[in-house]
Amino acid sequence: MKLSRLALGLSLSAPALLLASPSVLAQTLSGTVTNAAGKPLANATVEIEALKRVTSTNELGEFTFSNVKEGDYTLHIFASGFAHLHEHTQAQSDNAGGANFVLARSAIEVIDVHATPMHLSVMESATPVSVLSGETLRRQQAATLGDTLEKLPGVQSNFHGNVASTPIIRGLSGPRVLITQNGLDVSDVSRVGPDHSVASEASTAKQIEVLRGPATLFFGSGAIGGVVNVVDQRVPASTETRGEFVLETQTVNDQKLGTFNVTTGVDNIAFYADGFYRDSNDYE
């Protein structure tokens, strides 16, 4: 008699579990992907990072994931010509219509960066890199590239007055130190004549990178001393309107410096302009 009641109890509880399972497992996660102007993006890739499930948007920019557990998820959304988007969302029973996800236009190729889990100093790293940017760059900014970088470890300035001073990295200079702008060789005459100034201007730069060791092999076999990469906004990453200007004066050589840069644009067209003016006398 006890066995029959136990069997009856199990037969009653099993339908309850079956009825409860759809509300837990069979949720739908949906949404719409658009650009900044509100136009739908077709063939955009949408991935639920935790579940490794991937789908694409239709012509209306819509996507749908079925049979998803109720809860919080992070979506990875990307499309050609747009910046990647990582957005948190929820899968709920009342997820009718879904959320709207906006992708920002980007002219820069997105590159995945993989880092080591161990903390290494610049001297211990196999690819030591020094980066000068932001307020630190503006404070150390000088009339020449060599004078701007001379406070970095392992970098000195080949002094030829306040007009032409090139960087010396680990005791090497001239053609053994490659000067690039946005990753491209500047190819000016400062490489063969140290009394000539470097064509890249530090006052309009966003940041300056100094590479040493094996990292310089990406730029060829000649830069055995190091690579100095001057990064500016001449390849705009967005059409957002922004800019900056600097006015500076020095009493030691009566130097007067004025520089500016501005970025703007509309839709798929970006515009960038920069310029500088410098006038100075001999050191007193």
pLDDT tens, residue by residue, 201-230 = 777 788 888 888 777 877 777 788 888 888
Please check whether residues 94 and 235 belong to one and the same domain. Answer: no
> Which has the higher per-residue pLDDT, 254 or 162?
254
**Which residue(s) pair with 105 in the sheet?**
82
Say if residue 260's pLDDT is above 60.
yes
Longest dimension (CA), the chain: 111
Please check whether residues 82 and 133 belong to one and the same domain. Answer: no
- 229 closest CA partner among 168, 147, 145: 145
Structural domain ending residue among the three candidates 77, 110, 143: 110
On whether residue 16 sits in a domain, the answer given is no
Range of the domain at 73: 29-110
Structural domain ending residue among the three candidates 76, 110, 144: 110
Please check whether residues 240 and 179 belong to one and the same domain. Answer: yes
Say if residue 154's pLDDT is above 90.
no
Please check whether residues 267 and 155 belong to one and the same domain. Answer: yes
Please check whether residues 58 and 168 belong to one and the same domain. Answer: no
Number of domains in the chain: 2
Question: Any long-range contacts for 35-42 (C-beta under 8 Å, 24+ apart)?
Answer: 35/82, 35/102, 35/103, 35/105, 36/102, 36/103, 36/104, 36/105, 37/267, 41/79, 41/82, 41/103
| Percent of all residues in the chain with a pLDDT value above 90, rounded to a whole number | 12
On whether residue 225 sits in a domain, the answer given is yes
Please check whether residues 162 and 223 belong to one and the same domain. Answer: yes
Q: Tell me the chain's radius of gyration from C-alpha atoms.
A: 29
> Which has the higher per-residue pLDDT, 199 or 149?
149
Both tokens of 54, joined, read: 């991937």
CATH number of the domain where residue 56 is located: 2.60.40.1120
Please check whether residues 71 and 176 belong to one and the same domain. Answer: no
Please check whether residues 42 and 106 belong to one and the same domain. Answer: yes
DSSP string covering 18-47: HHHHHHHH-EEEEEEEE-TTS-B-TT-EEE
pTM of the model: 0.52
- 70 closest CA partner among 50, 92, 89: 92
Pick from 50-54, 118-122, 177-181, 242-246: least confident = 118-122
Say if residue 125's pLDDT is above 80.
no
On whether residue 115 sits in a domain, the answer given is no
